[in-house]
Structure 1
Amino acid sequence: MTPTSHHPTAAPAQRVVASYPTYAAAEQAVDYLSDQRFPVEHVAIVGRGLHSYEQVTGRMTWAKAAGYQAAGGAVLGALFGWILGLFDLVNPLVSGALLALYGAIVGAVLGAVLGLVGHALTGGRRDFASISAFRADSYDLLVDDTHAAQATQMLAAPGAPSRT
């Protein structure tokens, strides 16, 4: 056994070949390189200056808390009931569709109860719904040193995506 057989090899050195203000612009640049037959497996998109971002989508009421969880529970219950019917794990006289319906009803009720309990446990400290994400100030394209000059040249060519 060689000493390196149990350890991953070190990542190749990389350097920044371009910076973009949005992820979509960086993604477009990588797509452009791919279209030009550049070996994109040597490219990484790195977000710089990451920030947590939370978009508030609305007020969370008791009805919404119960409704969101009821909908999720109904889907899960219907799927579980359908699978039971599909494999005849319950009396074959009961159809899969009927089991899916019963599963949806039970799942919706349990989901609604859990939604109400969860909302009650917040104690009014979080009466809103939101979506969390991360944002970056800019996005750099890092390319392995062995391919960086070629990528830089390709991204500077006419027709390459803009960096602004």
Structure 2
Amino acid sequence: MAFSSSRGGVPTTPTLPTGVQIASFDTYLEAQRAVDLLSDKEFEVQRTTIVGTDLRMVERITGRLSYPRVALAGAMSGAWFGLFVGLLFGLMSDGPILVMLLPALVIGAAFGMLFGLVSYAFTGGKRDFTSSSQVVAGRYALLCEQSRVGEAVRLLGEAGIRTRVGGPGPTQPVSGPTTAQPVGAPPWSEPQQPQQAGPPPAAPPGGPGAGQPPAGEQPAETTVPAAPTFRPWEDEHGNPRYGRRLPQRPTDGEENPS
């Protein structure tokens, strides 16, 4: 459904609606009531549009189909057609109308019953029920032209109808962060918050499996540097430690007192 032009015409081709959303309703009757209130207050309702979103085709089963029910429905439809034909011929003839109505009514009911039974027999019992189909929307938005938004909102507010100007339209995506829900989770479970990108948390030191490579990977070979060899009275650079004496080295021709 689209806005009408200034001359009151309707676009000949399917056109997306334009305007500002001023209210949203759960049922079509609520949206119809809002437009009816605007019309009662002499508002130019041709500047508004009711847009249904989240469309679904609903087929309601009305009953079981059987041969007696098919025969009755065919007889009733044939009787109406026979009544029309009898009335037409009765008006064109000079005799009484009832003389033409009764035979036409009976003949029409008989032929209608016959056609109904034959048509049902050809289906082979593949559809033994009657139903009624409707296209139902999950939400109904009321749009209004930009130039008349203020007046429409004021009139709806005076009637006690909640309005919301500038809400997300039926063809506009809702912007903002969305929450992801795991596949297979029940509909009543709380959605998971989106995880922020960042480095993975470090494993606690000393925990189980610490220092062990992941499964399927070979441990890398590590080389341990050799400890420096030095005497206890010298440091690692060969210098004497303070507070200690170096033993006297024997000179040539003398024996070590040790």
TM range (shorter): 0.7 to 0.9
Q: How far off is 1:122 after superposition?
A: 1.6
Task: Report the counterpart of residue 104 of structure 1 in structure 2.
Answer: 105
Secondary structure of residue in 2 paired with 1:136: strand
Q: How far off is 1:119 after superposition?
A: 1.0
Q: How far off is 1:66 after superposition?
A: 1.2
Structure 1 CA distance, aligned partners of 2:147 and 2:74? 52
1:84 and 2:85 correspond: no
Matched-pair contact (CA < 8 Å) for 2:23–2:162: no
Task: Report the counterpart of residue 22 of structure 2 in structure 1.
Answer: 17
Task: Report the counterpart of residue 217 of structure 2 in structure 1.
Answer: none
Q: How far off is 1:150 after superposition?
A: 2.0
Cα RMSD (Å): 2.2
State the AA in 2 paired with 1:35.
Answer: D
- 1:87 and 1:162, CA in 2 relative to 1: closer, same or farther beyond 3 A? farther
Q: How far off is 1:132 after superposition?
A: 1.2
Matched-pair contact (CA < 8 Å) for 2:47–2:144: yes
Q: Residue deviations 1:84-106, cap 9 Å, x none?
A: 11122xxx23x222212111111
Within 5 Å, which residues of 2 pair with 1:44-63?
44-63=49-68
Matched-pair contact (CA < 8 Å) for 2:57–2:136: yes
The structure that has the greater radius of gyration is: 2
Secondary structure of residue in 2 paired with 1:160: coil
Q: Residue deviations 1:9-64, cap 9 Å, x none?
A: 99884232211100100000001111222111212222111111111111000111
Structure 2 CA distance, aligned partners of 1:32 and 1:110? 50
Task: Report the counterpart of residue 35 of structure 1 in structure 2.
Answer: 40
Structure 1 CA distance, aligned partners of 2:118 and 2:44? 52
Query: Using CA pairs below 8 Å that are at least 6 residues apart, which structure has the higher relative contact order?
Result: 1
Structure 2 CA distance, aligned partners of 1:45 and 1:80? 42
Structure 2 CA distance, aligned partners of 1:130 and 1:9? 32
Q: How far off is 1:152 after superposition?
A: 2.4
Task: Report the counterpart of residue 4 of structure 1 in structure 2.
Answer: none
Identical aligned residues as a percent = 36
Greater helix percent: which structure?
Answer: 1
- 1:67 and 1:124, CA in 2 relative to 1: closer, same or farther beyond 3 A? same
With structure 2 as the length reference, what TM-score do the two structures score? 0.54
Mark the runs of 5 or more structure 2 residues left unpaired by the alignment. Answer: 1-10, 164-258
Matched-pair contact (CA < 8 Å) for 2:75–2:110: yes
Task: Report the counterpart of residue 142 of structure 1 in structure 2.
Answer: 143
Q: How far off is 1:158 after superposition?
A: 3.7
Q: How far off is 1:82 after superposition?
A: 0.5
- 1:36 and 1:73, CA in 2 relative to 1: closer, same or farther beyond 3 A? same
Greater strand percent: which structure?
Answer: 1
